[in-house]
Structure 1
Amino acid sequence: MIRVLLLFPILLLIAQPSMAIREGTATADVFIRRYTQSGDFGRLALWHEAAAECLTRISVPMNAIAHDYYKRQGYEKWAARAEKEALEIRELHHYHHTRAEIAWQQSETSEYNLNAERENIAKFIATWLPRYPNRFYEFGIYPTFFRKQRALAEQRRNYAEVLRLEADAAEMCAVQYERIPIAYGLRNYEKHRDAYRQYATHLRNLAQQHPNALPPKIDTGRQMSDSLGIQTLPAQHTVDAILHIARSDTRVRTALANQHAVYAYPAFQGFAWIVRFSNHSHGNLATAIIDEKTMKVLNVGILSPGRN
């Protein structure tokens, strides 16, 4: 039996915030492995460049936003942690840049195929850019930092501090929209930025009144994605169709044979679906890439233990 789990990546990122700011790059690795295996060095170079671009456009600003906040508020240990992550991001960027240069030297890929892959990568990056602010309250800095600080403030019954923390969180979400999808040139995210900024201002005004209890709509920030029309999960009928295609592939069936408690993690990447199959015993068992238009399996990666 294969269980479908759409929230697993979110739970994983809650536990590993440093991974959260590099998840776009980590997902690019699926395509890097594909073209490494096939020996298509031109496409391989493009995906190493895509991984580096995700770091530049997503990971760097996200980490900088968090670091600046920690420094302003005097959270020195958290600031030091962000500085360590910044170094890791630079090292990873250098790695992908270097690997891209090496791959280009071996490339015989036609310009036609390169241009087609560039279009795919543009869709991939555009899909990842708003993903972090869209799910701000679900994973990353909100559950790992703000929620914990809020719990401490609530224990002290310092409700003004709770409101200030929630205001800071909403403002940070707005800044993520400003410095990631909007800075890239994606449209229609100004309303998201403005909505969270207005909410932050509202919370700060409430905090100045020194409340003796929390207002009933203190968690509005977590629910604003619905009013803004943000869809963080795909439609169930689409997921069912994608999973059926992936499970029907002979290579996937072979990889999953005799495996127990297998979970499937489908995720749309802008131009294709990635479906990861794994269990607790062996980790990642197989990863299928399915074309969005043709709904055909483009590739299946079978990962050995220790390469998850």
Structure 2
Amino acid sequence: MAVRQGTATAELFIRRYTQSGDFKRLALWHEAAAECLKHISVPMNEIAYDYYERNGYEKWAARAKKEAREIQKHYQFHRTRAQIARQKFVGETCNPDSHSVLNTESENIKKFITTWLPHYPDRFYEFGIYPTFFRKQRELAEQRGDYVKVLRLEADAAEMCAAQYERIPLAYGLTNYEKYRDMYRQYALHLQSLAQQDPKALPPLVDRGKRILGSLAIQTEPSPQKAEVVLQIAKSDARIKVILAGQRAVRAHAIFQGFAWIVHFSNHSRGNIAVAIVDGKTAKVLDVF
């Protein structure tokens, strides 16, 4: 997935300020989307491409190259749109209240980006390259009884997870992620050592990578509201009630974005039905799509 979820979520705020005609904040969010691509999508793609190329996975490398072009296309789109939005308010008088609003929005965007930077390495074994590539390659190796290959694949996966911590949150300047990187590197070395012993069965620690994060406290921007409370607030909004009227088996989930909650409503028949943006401090529903 070339465009990661951070950029996709930024596009909700882009939509909000496009509809309201708030070009100053619109420009900021286009820039935020571009920043997510630059600091998340680009390094993730480069890490994957380097691995595929180095290990002879030609089709996967070609796919990563195609994704790199898509990322650059989206990056240029958001940079251009930010410039266009800025041109629409050039020359406007900026009063103190307007300055305050923009400063607050800039701070919110910082929280938003720092929330998304560790998102993929934190969930490495749940989303992205591990389930789509490593897990499938492992299944093939297990079917052949090639346990050395399984261990090497898991070692490569752990090393890649460490590389994501190195190239994304740490490269951006976030602190305290060194321990995450180092634990996955140590785990990768351990698996490589086990592979050299040519085992005839998989050791029990082969899946420890999926549990390492549980031993570490995931750093998140705190919210005064709990997800369950936010879900109820969103469901109670009159606009959401109108949209969901007559819909069956609706599922809802809330994700905190560092300063606000995004609540998605969906069902099997229609997919995404509605989205609510809920303020992280006041728990007020800011907008509904």
- Residue from 45, 49, 65 that aligns with 1:83: 65
Report the CA distance between 1:53 and its aligned residue.
Answer: 0.3
- Residue from 247, 256, 259 that aligns with 1:271: 259
Partner of 1:64: 46
- Bigger CA drift: 188-197 or 150-159? 150-159
Provide, for residues 198-255 of structure 1, a one-character-per-residue CA deviation record: whole Å limited to 9, x for no partner.
Answer: 00000000100111111011100001110112379x99x8221001110111111111
C-alpha distance in 1, partners of 2:80/2:31? 9
- Bigger CA drift: 284-293 or 40-49? 284-293
Matches within 5 A, 1:228-247: 228-230=216-218, 238-247=226-235
C-alpha distance in 1, partners of 2:116/2:151? 30
C-alpha distance in 1, partners of 2:204/2:273? 45
Q: Could you say what the CA RMSD is over the residues aligned between the two structures, in angstroms?
A: 1.6
Aligned residues with identical type, % of pairs: 68
SS of aligned partner of 1:194: helix
SS of aligned partner of 1:217: helix
C-alpha distance in 2, partners of 1:223/1:50? 32
Matches within 5 A, 1:289-308: 289-301=277-289
- Residue from 194, 199, 203 that aligns with 1:211: 199
- Residue from 119, 125, 140 that aligns with 2:128: 140
One-letter code aligned to 2:188: A
SS of aligned partner of 2:162: helix
C-alpha distance in 1, partners of 2:217/2:114? 17
SS of aligned partner of 1:299: strand
Matches within 5 A, 1:62-211: 62-107=44-89, 110-211=98-199
C-alpha distance in 2, partners of 1:269/1:259? 27
SS of aligned partner of 2:13: helix
Partner of 2:250: 262
Provide, for residues 37-74 of structure 1, a one-character-per-residue CA deviation record: whole Å limited to 9, x for no partner.
Answer: 11100000100000000000000000000000000000
C-alpha distance in 2, partners of 1:138/1:221? 11
C-alpha distance in 2, partners of 1:126/1:257? 36
C-alpha distance in 1, partners of 2:140/2:194? 19
Q: Does residue 30 in structure 1 map to residue 18 in structure 2? A: no
One-letter code aligned to 1:260: R
TM, length-normalised to structure 1 = 0.88
Report the CA distance between 1:300 and its aligned residue.
Answer: 1.2
Residues 231 and 253 in structure 2, CA contact (< 8 A), matched pair in contact too:
no
One-letter code aligned to 1:67: Y
> Quick one: higher RCO (CA 8 Å, sep 6+), 1 or 2?
1
One-letter code aligned to 1:192: Y
C-alpha distance in 2, partners of 1:231/1:265? 20
Partner of 1:9: none
SS of aligned partner of 1:298: strand
C-alpha distance in 1, partners of 2:41/2:231? 30
Aligned residues: 281
C-alpha distance in 2, partners of 1:103/1:166? 46
Report the CA distance between 1:114 and its aligned residue.
Answer: 1.2
One-letter code aligned to 2:79: H
